[in-house]
Copies of this chain bind each other. A is one copy, B any other.
Amino acid sequence: MSLVIVGSVAFDTIETPFGRRERIVGGSGTYCSLAASYFTRPRVVGVVGRDFPRSAIAFLKSRHVDLHGLKVRPGKTFHWEGRYEKDPNLRTTVRTELNVFKDFRPEVPAAYAGADIVYLANIDPDGHEFILRQFRKPRLLAMDTIRFWIETKREALRRELGRIDLLFANDEEARLLSGEQNLIAAGQALVGYGPRLVILKKGEHGALVFGRSFVFGVLAHPCPHVIDPTGAGDAFAGGFLGYLDRAGSLVRRNIRRAAVYGSVLASFAIEDFGIDRFCTLDAAAVEGRFREFRRLMSF
Q: Encode contact with B along A195-214: 1 for CB under 8 Å, 0 otherwise.
A: 00000001011101000001
A257 contacts chain B at the CB level, 8 A cutoff: yes
Query: By the criterion CB–CB under 8 Å, are A217 and B184 in contact?
Result: no
Q: How large is the interface on A (under 10, 10 to 19, 20 to 34, 35 or more residues)?
A: 35 or more
Q: 10 A–B contact pairs at CB < 8 A?
A: A182-B223, A182-B226, A183-B204, A184-B222, A184-B223, A188-B224, A205-B205, A215-B296, A253-B299, A257-B299
Query: By the criterion CB–CB under 8 Å, are A219 and B217 in contact?
Result: yes
User: Least Cβ distance of A279 to chain B in Å?
Assistant: 24
A148 contacts chain B at the CB level, 8 A cutoff: no
* Chain B residue with the shortest CB-CB distance to A223: B184
Inter-chain CA distance A293–B217, complex, in Å, is 10
A260 contacts chain B at the CB level, 8 A cutoff: yes
- A219 touching B219 in the complex, CB below 8 Å, given contacts A86-B181, A183-B204: yes
Q: Could you tell me which residues of chain A, from 285 to 299, have a CB within 8 Å of some CB in chain B?
A: 293, 295-299
Inter-chain CA distance A188–B225, complex, in Å, is 12
A216 contacts chain B at the CB level, 8 A cutoff: yes
Task: Pick the contact of A215: B183, B214, B222 (CB < 8 A).
Answer: B222
Inter-chain CA distance A3–B297, complex, in Å, is 27
Task: Pick the contact of A202: B182, B205, B297 (CB < 8 A).
Answer: B205
A87 contacts chain B at the CB level, 8 A cutoff: yes
A41 contacts chain B at the CB level, 8 A cutoff: no
Inter-chain CA distance A297–B209, complex, in Å, is 11
- A214 touching B295 in the complex, CB below 8 Å, given contacts A219-B219, A222-B208: yes
Contacts of A293 in B (CB 8 A): 299
A58 contacts chain B at the CB level, 8 A cutoff: no
Query: By the criterion CB–CB under 8 Å, are A216 and B296 in contact?
Result: yes
Query: By the criterion CB–CB under 8 Å, are A217 and B297 in contact?
Result: yes
A281 contacts chain B at the CB level, 8 A cutoff: no
* Chain B residue with the shortest CB-CB distance to A261: B299
A256 contacts chain B at the CB level, 8 A cutoff: yes
Most buried by B among A185, A219, A226, A257: A219
Q: Could you tell me which residues of chain A, from 225 to 275, have a CB within 8 Å of some CB in chain B?
A: 225-226, 253, 256-257, 259-260
